[in-house]
Structure 1
Amino acid sequence: MHTIKKLELNQQLTDLDILEIDSPSCSACIALQGAQILQYQPKHRATPLLWLSQVNTGQLGKALRGGIPLCFPWFGAHPQGLQPAHGFARNQIWELQNVSYDEAQAIHHVDFILQDSPETRKIWSHAFRLKLRISCGRSLNLDLHVENIGSQAFEFSFAWHSYFQINQIRQTEIHGLQNAEFIDQLQNNHHFLETDAVTFQQEMDRIYPKASGYYQIVQAHAEPIQIAAPSCASVVIWNPWQDKAERLGDIAEGDWQHFVCVECGQIASETVRLAAGSEVHYQLKITDL
């Protein structure tokens, strides 16, 4: 079963259309803005896998905090500082092409497309097409195709800015990054080597340009969350901690303790140069099985 309705936050209808999915395997909500999955909960699990802020405004054109926003065609600050951070794909209305249901596997497949337009060319002057398939079942799968449909090569970076719901950030570990080099954005972008599991005692903002593509979120009294993105070279680990969460303004008081971002993509030294007429494909799989 699937329906389209307005996003509900704080008991109020907002401007954003969302697709609601319910099947024997999972429930999920996907915003047409950004083709952004906002909520995903397998039926075998007592709590959602993704975290969504309940103090989002839900205004058209304003990024939503939580779920899995797609940062494209750049991650972080604009290379020349001329445009907003994280690109424009998460703020655009994507075309919903198809919703299908595989009854045998209890999986919904949702297909979106975003192509350059006069609006995007004011921000980034390249001809492109993004195709995104979101598959919701006992696991969550995202498949992204980036196509250069223009006559000149372009460069891009991207990330799935995934927010995972956790019990308590101080009791959470990220596994799979041992021996990976990272850039600490809170220490003047100095480079360090990860020696053990990642733990949290303060604000964290680390870019791992070249990582394994396989990670685990480990916490007490819960099954580990498994993240597989073998086609993505990079990953970012982020939590704002208390002071920054208060400055951001779209995170409810104390909620910074209940999410962690593990963001797979192509970042920093792994920016992609895509020739005219070419395409690349990236995948992300999330499960607790």
Structure 2
Amino acid sequence: MSTPFEPLIQSCPHLALSDTAKCYGASKGMPLVLVNNPHCRAVIAQQGAQLLECETAKGPLLWLSPQAIFNPGKAIRGGVPVCLPWFGPHSSDPEKPQHGICRNQDWLLSAANALDDGRTELVWCFDHYCETAHPQFEFTFGAQLTMILGAQIDLALRITNTDNTNMPVTWALHSYHPVSDLSQVRISGLENCHYLDNTRDRARTTQQGAVRFNGELDRVYVSVPDEQIIETQPRLAVQASNSGSAIVWNPGTELAAGMADVGEDNHLGFVCLERGDAADNALDLAPGDHHSARVCIRFAD
């Protein structure tokens, strides 16, 4: 298969090209970049610069739905979707796409490097609207997502306002993580934080103790500590810098059964623990300004 970034693939020994038809038996062959290095095997979709899988010697760091649907222009369920330039429903127009316009469009792979320690670095750029605004977002902007893939996942997101006026932004790296037993899972590191509960009309509540899962859970935690731990087997850590919010989600039994790309009982195998800036932590970028944030996903033990 030929793509605009094929020369980069050829120059980096860790990389290969494939598509969703070959890897996942999908009906449509959306381009994929495959990473095989001494530390991990990973799969990244060009659409949304979405890291779909990262398998290490200790196990997977991400969950991809066994019923994921691979249709161009539609969100893929699992991995790390990039929600940008808004997170969740648009604040003033519910007809606009959930989680922004960046996760369902192709990004450009601008650099690929095999690092000396065996890890792989990929740099993805989203610059379609640096000069002319998207019809559903009135500001011009650009974004860059750098991935360093090894025994852990290191992600760096840079958002730049290329407009001549202040630009409101909310964002999240919407990571899905595997769990061994949802009924026993706890998330620590959010104790005493305030959150907006999307299952109760965004009621503002304070977290008491660790987060536990008993039915649908959909919360935006604001002004949170840098690190949270998913207490499962093995334990997972999600650590961020310059990211004020943490979003925790699992659809629960009833909602999952009605979701074609999740399906009955598949919700038992994952939780979303996402880092970003949403709600109280929303950004307002001045003209020419940028916001840079980092997220690290690793095993805690």
User: Percent same amino acid at aligned positions?
Assistant: 28
How far apart, CA to CA, are the structure 2 residues paired with 1:232 and 1:186?
23
Question: Normalised by the size of structure 1, how large is the TM-score?
Answer: 0.94
How big is the shift at 1:120? 5.8
Deviation at 1:260, TM superposition (A): 0.1
Determine if the alignment matches structure 1 residue 93 to structure 2 residue 102: no
* Residues 10 and 54, structure 1, Cα contact 8 Å, conserved in 2: no
Name 2:76's counterpart in structure 1. Answer: 64
Greater share of residues in strand: 1
Mapped contact 2:228–2:238 kept (Cα < 8 A) = yes
Distance in 1 separating the partners of 2:110 and 2:27: 25
Aligned to 1:202: 215
After superposition, the Cα gap between the structure-2 partners of 1:251 and 1:186, relative to the gap in structure 1 and judged at 3 Å, is: same
- CA-CA distance at 1:119 after TM superposition: 8.7
Q: Distance in 2 between matches of 1:87 and 1:33?
A: 13
How far, CA to CA, are the matches of 1:11 and 1:248 in structure 2? 20
The separation in 2 between residues aligned to 1:120 and 1:171, in whole angstroms, is: 46
Task: Quote the residue 1:273 is aligned against.
Answer: 284
State yes or no: 1:167 paired with 2:183: no
User: For residues 53 and 238 of structure 1, what CA distance do their matches in structure 2 show?
Assistant: 15
In structure 1, C-alpha distance between the alignment counterparts of 2:60 and 2:268, rounded to whole Å: 15
List runs of 5+ in structure 1 lacking aligned partners. none
Q: How many residues align?
A: 284
Structure 2 distance, partners of 1:152, 1:78, is 19
What code does the residue aligned with 1:39 have?
A: E
- Of 69, 83, 87, 1:75 maps to 87
Q: How far apart, CA to CA, are the structure 1 residues paired with 2:225 and 2:86?
A: 21
Q: Distance in 1 between matches of 2:170 and 2:44?
A: 23
Matched-pair contact (CA < 8 Å) for 1:88–1:120: no
Q: Following the alignment from structure 1 to structure 2, what is the Cα–Cα distance between the partners of residues 119 and 22?
A: 37
The aligned residue for residue 24 of structure 1 is 38
CA root-mean-square deviation: 1.5
**2:297 counterpart (264, 282, 286):** 286
Runs of 4+ in 1 over 2 A off after TM superposition: 8-15, 116-120
Distance 1:116 1:73 in 2: 13
Letter in 2 for 1:236: I
- Indicate the residue corresponding to 2:9 in structure 1: none
- TM-score, normalising length from structure 2? 0.91
Residue in structure 2 matched with residue 259 of structure 1 by the alignment: 270
Which 5+ residue runs of structure 2 have no aligned equivalent?
1-13
